[in-house]
Chain A
């Protein structure tokens, strides 16, 4: 069975700081990779996704992620965070056998103004 690990459970940053959230997965075959965000009181929203091609993918709100196949990693980055980025972030993997996402444990990000 595949698994997804997010190493940072809680992250506190000041506005304008750079962000990198780690994500590693354990499935050895072809995967689709996703980052979702859950703002307080809102539903899960897709930030970005990787299916194939350029391993550096850009998403909404200035987020990007890099797929490194040799490291089974899909880290999320943002050069300069804003207070409005305060949310919980989830990395997810789909092994393309159906719409069955395996989620990481999530990272709670707090951005201090």
Chain B
């Protein structure tokens, strides 16, 4: 069965712009989590959605937001981009609470 799909794979944006990233979870998975991966900070949790509700949120500013649709697909949005937002953004889907998280290939965002 298809894995977690993230689009686009690569993005280049200018400071001050906003960006929307998309994640399609594995079929049947209702939990979607987002992570930011950078060389300096490593992998950091952004937020998690389950059945269209945000269940957990990491320690990121309000410029980072997300949502989940009724088909479990999720989007995350970053507004007023800063150079420090350059990172690999990973999406993971899980079948149940505390279950194995399956990761997508990520979206590499570069802010110039």
Interface residues of A, Cβ cutoff 8 Å to B: 32, 34, 36, 42-46, 49, 51, 90, 92, 94, 96-106
Give the tally of cross-chain contacts (CB within 8 A).
Answer: 66
Please state if B42 and A98 are interface contacts (CB–CB under 8 Å): no
Provide the main secondary structure of the chain B interface: strand
Please state if B98 and A43 are interface contacts (CB–CB under 8 Å): no
Cβ of A3 to closest chain B Cβ, rounded Å: 11
Cβ of B44 to closest chain A Cβ, rounded Å: 8
Please state if A97 and B56 are interface contacts (CB–CB under 8 Å): yes
Interface residues of B, Cβ cutoff 8 Å to A: 3-4, 31, 33, 35, 42-45, 48, 50, 55-56, 58, 90, 92, 94, 97-106
Please state if A101 and B33 are interface contacts (CB–CB under 8 Å): yes
B33 touches which of A32, A42, A90, A100 (Cβ 8 Å): A100
> Complex: how many Å from CA A101 to CA B101?
9
B99 touches which of A36, A99, A103 (Cβ 8 Å): A99
Cβ of A44 to closest chain B Cβ, rounded Å: 4
> Complex: how many Å from CA A99 to CA B42?
18
Knowing A90-B43, A103-B42, A105-B42, the reply to whether A98 touches B101 (Cβ < 8 A) is: no
